[in-house]
Structure 1
């Protein structure tokens, strides 16, 4: 009876129940990410991660076998958040304004990358050379190619090879983002506009004579 009364009292007082597993996992990963950013992956211990997340050590090993496995999960989460951020920006554009959608894709990629590149560099240490077919690149390319092919179907552009143009724009945008990070430029908006202008030159428009 005493146990039941205690539980009932907790319910009435609004005491928090155990957090859902997905919330606890997200908090654990966020704690690890913060530590990795502040002191490096190698210098961060599992004990520090669970202490920062306020969970038992067993909770870490319930989800991950090692820090490397956690890094893989962080990479997946980073990619999902990156894609969602870009897609939300695209979705705010008029559905039939393909040039604007491309410009927004470019701007959102540059802006998001500049804001999150430190996490990117932690979770994608082999991004540039050893893992050329990485998930992040494939997903962003699919997103970009969908815009280009949408413009082609709508009669806006007429590239001979849409996939090649998408590859060039993807590489150019992320190379440009690396440059703006290195130069510590703060005005992403103006920079992204100039990058967009350059990228649009690779997409010839249909003229009245070619339609």
Structure 2
């Protein structure tokens, strides 16, 4: 999978062949087909791996905060999402290049939003904020962070820190908190 990811980043998915992947991985073509039926399958597996790694990094950042400090945990979730996405956006863009919203279902996005929803519900249970529709709030925060981080990546480097802080502050306002 590492060989496929590196080639997809270097050449693009369309320009990379299965032969290129097996040659770079130094395995036989049969070995590739033992695990994957097509290039689309390895791309899907890379997307799943990306999401798992992404969520693990975010979870580590959140878990570094005190369990009773829901605001710090939410802030950490937002900041880690921004930081990890900025650092890994090239891989993200490759593994999700074929993603379309036709089915509207997206297991990877749903998993990340569920992670956020759990934090929001913990804040509700702890009396830190009142959200009449926490799933909607999770969707707004996730979508806002994801979309705005795309803008952050494209922003001039000297404006990124202020943009990031404004993004975090605006997301926290959605739960009635201040930065």
Q: TM-score, normalised by structure 2?
A: 0.91
Q: CA deviation at 1:116?
A: 1.4
**Candidates 164, 171, 175, aligned match of 1:199:** 171
1:40 maps to: 12
Task: Name 1:159's counterpart in structure 2.
Answer: 131
Shift of 1:187: 7.3
The residue correspondences of 1:91-170 to structure 2 (distance < 5 A) are: 91-127=63-99, 129-170=101-142
> 1:15 aligns to what?
none
The answer to whether the Cα contact below 8 Å between 2:152 and 2:164 also exists between their aligned partners in 1 is no
Any idea what SS the aligned residue of 1:89 has? Answer: helix
Q: 5+ residue gaps in structure 1? A: 1-28, 206-211
Larger displacement relative to structure 2 (101-110 or 190-199) = 190-199
For residue 82 of structure 1, give the secondary structure of its aligned residue in structure 2: helix
Mapped contact 2:36–2:42 kept (Cα < 8 A):
yes
The answer to whether the 8 Å contact 1:107/1:189 transfers is no
The 1:185–1:51 alpha-carbon spacing in structure 2 relative to 1, beyond 3 Å, is same
Contact kept in structure 2, 1:110 and 1:188, CA below 8 Å: no
Deviations 1:101-131 (A, max 9, x none): 1111111111111111122122212445334
Please say if residues 85 and 149 of structure 2, whose CA atoms lie closer than 8 Å, have aligned partners that are also in contact.
Answer: yes
Superposition TM-score, scaled by structure 1 size: 0.78
Structure 1 partner of 2:62: 90
Post-superposition CA distance 1:9-63 (Å, at most 9, x none): xxxxxxxxxxxxxxxxxxxx00000000001111111121111111122111111
Quick check: which has more Rg, 1 or 2?
1
Cα distance between partner residues in 1 of 2:171 and 2:28 = 50
- Mind listing any 5+ residue stretches in structure 2 that lack a counterpart? none
For this pair of structures, how many residues does the alignment match? 177
**Alpha-carbon separation, structure 1, partners of 2:95 and 2:26:** 23
